[in-house]
Structure 1
Amino acid sequence: MPNQPARRSAPDGLLIAVLAAAGISVSLMQTLIIPLIPQLPTLLDTTGANASWTITATLLTGAVATPMLGRLGDMFGPKWILVLCAVLLFIGSVIAAMTTSLIPLIIGRGLQGFGAPVIPLGISVLRAALPPERVASAMGLMSASLGVGGALGLPLSAVIAEQFNWHALFWCAAALGLASGILFVLLVPDLEPVSADHRFDPVGAVTLGIGLVLLLLPISKGAMWGWTSATTLGMFAAAVATFSVFTWWQYRVPSPIVDMRTTLKRPVLLTNLASIAVGFGMFALSLVGPQLLEMPRETGFGLGQSMIATGLWMAPGGLAMMAAAPVAARVVSARGPKIVLVIGSAIIAVGYLAGTLMLGSPVGLMVLGLIVSFGVGFAFAALPALINAAVPVSETASANSINSLARSLGTSTSSAVMTAVLAQMTITFAGHALPSPAGFRTALLIAAAAAAGAALIALAIPKAPAGRDVVEEPAEALSEAAERLMSERGDLVAVELADQRP
């Protein structure tokens, strides 16, 4: 597939730098609020359960916005959709920076979630605007930038929160959003749309958005509401009904948000199922690692690390993901993306199995993070290549957005399952129930099983045909992987920490 003609507005190197910087900004947004989680109930004069909505809002808007804006990017070109994302991120950050009340902060954090589509939109710009020989290296640089941003996000935000007023975090976010928007306007080329059909499906957009909210909300809040409560079960039932209506409508509308015939093709369906399984397996590291590192030494197995130290111990995982980029690229070029997904999933599974023996020291947890993160980078490197080889060019952004949603479903479900396991397998310390060593090891074993399941699913994916998308996608895919890992280490971990507060 040749690159599209584009009205070039910046040299290649500058364009790559701008989009890589935007990737750093997006990944920083995910870890931005974590240092505030213990303080939010006091700062906002509310409960921990209410404060957790400042995280949930970002997750929900990001999930809903990604397929919508991905489709708009296919229809009208990605440049001005990127600008829209940056504007909404800026507005949300300013609202959050200027408030001391819960509701405005939730609104601001919700608007920040519109930064999530920047990654797939930026990827589409690089694929279309760069000459073929520069695509792989550009995606590698973007991957590295995202890894660095995510790895540094937690310690940086912890330092800012400790040294300055908490509003400074959101003013920094506003500055990043403003700078990104200006640079998008000035330097991103105005690409031709890949879809000739400019009709938007408002009914499909609304039903998909409602269905995602009805599905993801009880998944993220089920532990707090009760898994058998009328609210949780009612929302799950409503989600099933809504998605049924959505599917029926997508088969009948001329220009669907999601082409169900393409989505249900065997290569696409199996790739998305593997994404759910890998996303599920990936999340255990994000929940087990920080909790063990910060748990008091007096428990007999906690490691007693500060928040900043915890961030530093977990940071090398981002570097491992960067290191996976060139390795994955060579394997994809030689053997294709299917085997890369199998190998990456297997690495994750082996890492978690080995990790059950490495929970006694910060170094052991760091090694666990290195292995799992390398495997995640390897596995997710294959996903866009597999998707792009199986869908028409006109559906590239929307198809990859659905794949991103599959990953979100996996991590969200993992969040619920892991939290339930750790809540059931506890010890009592200083009058409080804390997860036990057996609980942490069980969580790792469940994650290993999910990763092994992903490898088995990957084996059933039909081999992708040779072509540009297969060869040049690995680094692009890894930038998706970096964003995914950092997102789950940010917002989903924060949800769990907040929901566990009284």
Structure 2
Amino acid sequence: MSEAAEPRPNVVVAVLALGGIVVSLMQTLVIPLIPALPTLLHASANDAAWAITATLLAGAIATPVVGRLGDMYGKRRMLLVSLVVLVVGSTVAALSDSLVPMVIGRALQGMAAGVIALGISIMRDELPAERLGSATSLMSASLGVGGALGLPAAAFLAERADWHVLFWSAAVLGVVVTVLVFLLVPESRVRTPARFDLVGAFGLSVGLLCLLLGISKGADWGWGSATTLVLFAVAVIVLALWGWWELRRPQPLVDLRTTARRQVLLTNIASIVFGFAMFAISLVIPQLLQLPVATGYGMGQSLLTVGLVMAPSGLVMMSMAPLSAQITRSRGPKITLMVGAVVVAIAYGLGIVLMSQVWQLVLVSSLMGAGVGLAYGAMPSLIMAAVPVSETAAANSLNTLMRSIGTSMSSAVSGVVLAHLTVSFGSTAVPSPDGFRLILAIAAGASLIALVVAAFLPPRRAVPPAGTTSTVPATATAR
């Protein structure tokens, strides 16, 4: 595979951040189609939901595996592989008119989820130290930026064009980013020669599949149903056996001893909580905006308006990258994470009382975006300061996975709350205002839990420069 020219920091950051935005677009791409998916795919509503679930599951499984392969065989190489898979998945979905190819295409799109973690790792290896903080903050924020900006764009296309255009657009964006990465992003010189832990990859994949499938489908199947309970039981057993296996491997897929370090462990726990808190707003605001005005609290807005209301949060999240980096440089990433948690808690607290006007929802969403932008910007610094350079991609990928678990839990909890707190509207039941307020209160509480977790992080520690290690030697290969 051809190598890119000597890196130019601004170009590398711009291309990698664009890649992160494009990958995160895949999460919101199908939202405008959800009501019509059963008709479009000639399937039941429960079966059509797999077009969403497949992306989540594939991303969770692929992210840690791709991260480890990036450390071993080259981060740029695996970044390109992930982007090519995204293009293939988008093309398959664009050509589909039935359930099976759509689910396959969406799963392939989800397998590109490791792009953000790989991008952060390339930045650590290639950028000068003074640029690393703001660059990784921007890359980390791209996860939320793409989701926020993708919704209005997808809604606009869905209302004015054939639904296949959404996926053709995703394929074109994927091709553009792939070409830019190939031409402009260098391959990292930091490699970790090792034998890939195939058994560990299989065990982690099965465990995560059962865990996330149980969380995401538990509400549909019933939390006490045999299927859900069996999935959770299998997840616990398989992940326990996987941990036993990994601790005995000289070259594990995930170094659990490194993961158990206080700074890494607490950052990953905070990531789960922040993933939970961040996703809650995405479940409340769209429903409030789209519920009929006749309910007394709904606003009767279109999906395009929903996207436009949510879009500012993504822009605010991206604009926080320089501030997050500045706080991290002056006070340390621990303080940045704590400030982010406080801002998110304040945003949700305001949301409990400000949910009757469109401008109020814009304010709450934007404030939440500011807090998440600060926090997400600090997380890569916390992780990279505590792991060897040789494990950068794997460690960042695991951190990304923790966020995904948090969003899955948020979706499950919110689904339960809204299903039980309803009011009658005509012949149907719709979520009640108390249900929405309870979700916002839970998210505020989750943010405060993240604050407490962050308070126990060790004092600030500088991110080791590329080419150095703390425990595991890395090798440098010529470009």
Mark the CA change 1:402 to 1:20 in structure 2 (over 3 Å): closer, same or farther. Answer: closer
Alignment of 1:23-422 (within 5 A): 23-139=20-136, 142=139, 149-195=146-192, 197-422=193-418
Mark the CA change 1:148 to 1:253 in structure 2 (over 3 Å): closer, same or farther. Answer: closer
Quick check: 2:136–2:380 contact (8 Å CA) kept in 1? Answer: no
Percent identity, aligned pairs only?
53
Give a deviation string over 1:441-487, Cα, whole Å, max 9, x none: 11111111111111111111111324557xxxxxxxxxxxxxxxxxx
Shift of 1:131: 2.9
Mark the CA change 1:120 to 1:186 in structure 2 (over 3 Å): closer, same or farther. Answer: same
Give a deviation string over 1:284-341, Cα, whole Å, max 9, x none: 1110111101111010000111000111011111122123222222211111111111
Corresponding letter in the other structure for 2:84: V
Quick check: 1:8–1:190 contact (8 Å CA) kept in 2? Answer: no
Shift of 1:371: 1.4
Shift of 1:390: 1.2
- The match for 1:437 is 433
Give a deviation string over 1:221-240, Cα, whole Å, max 9, x none: 00000000000000000000
Aligned residue for 1:189, secondary structure, equals: coil
Mark the CA change 1:298 to 1:356 in structure 2 (over 3 Å): closer, same or farther. Answer: same
Alignment of 1:449-464 (within 5 A): 449-464=445-460
Aligned residue for 2:81, secondary structure, equals: helix
Shift of 1:407: 1.4
Long gaps (5+) in structure 1: 1-5, 470-502
Name the CA distance, whole Å, in 2 between partners of 1:161 and 1:354. 32
Mark the CA change 1:117 to 1:253 in structure 2 (over 3 Å): closer, same or farther. Answer: same
Name the CA distance, whole Å, in 2 between partners of 1:170 and 1:7. 29
Corresponding letter in the other structure for 1:289: I
Shift of 1:427: 0.2
C-alpha root-mean-square deviation of aligned residues, in Å?
Answer: 1.9
Mark the CA change 1:144 to 1:390 in structure 2 (over 3 Å): closer, same or farther. Answer: closer
Mark the CA change 1:15 to 1:389 in structure 2 (over 3 Å): closer, same or farther. Answer: closer
Q: Larger deviation: 10-19 or 434-443?
A: 10-19
Corresponding letter in the other structure for 2:264: V
Instruction: Tell me the TM-score normalized by structure 2.
Output: 0.93
Aligned residue for 1:198, secondary structure, equals: coil
Mark the CA change 1:12 to 1:283 in structure 2 (over 3 Å): closer, same or farther. Answer: closer
Long gaps (5+) in structure 2: 466-479
Instruction: Tell me the TM-score normalized by structure 1.
Output: 0.89
- The match for 1:480 is none
- The match for 1:486 is none
Quick check: 1:274–1:458 contact (8 Å CA) kept in 2? Answer: yes
Corresponding letter in the other structure for 2:174: G
- The match for 2:476 is none
Aligned residue for 2:353, secondary structure, equals: coil
Mark the CA change 1:112 to 1:143 in structure 2 (over 3 Å): closer, same or farther. Answer: same
Corresponding letter in the other structure for 1:19: L
Shift of 1:23: 2.3
- The match for 1:18 is 15
Shift of 1:32: 1.2
Shift of 1:397: 1.1
Q: How many residues are treated as equivalent by the alignment?
A: 464
Quick check: 2:207–2:239 contact (8 Å CA) kept in 1? Answer: yes
- The match for 1:473 is none
- The match for 1:491 is none
Give a deviation string over 1:30-64, Cα, whole Å, max 9, x none: 21111111111111111111111001111111111
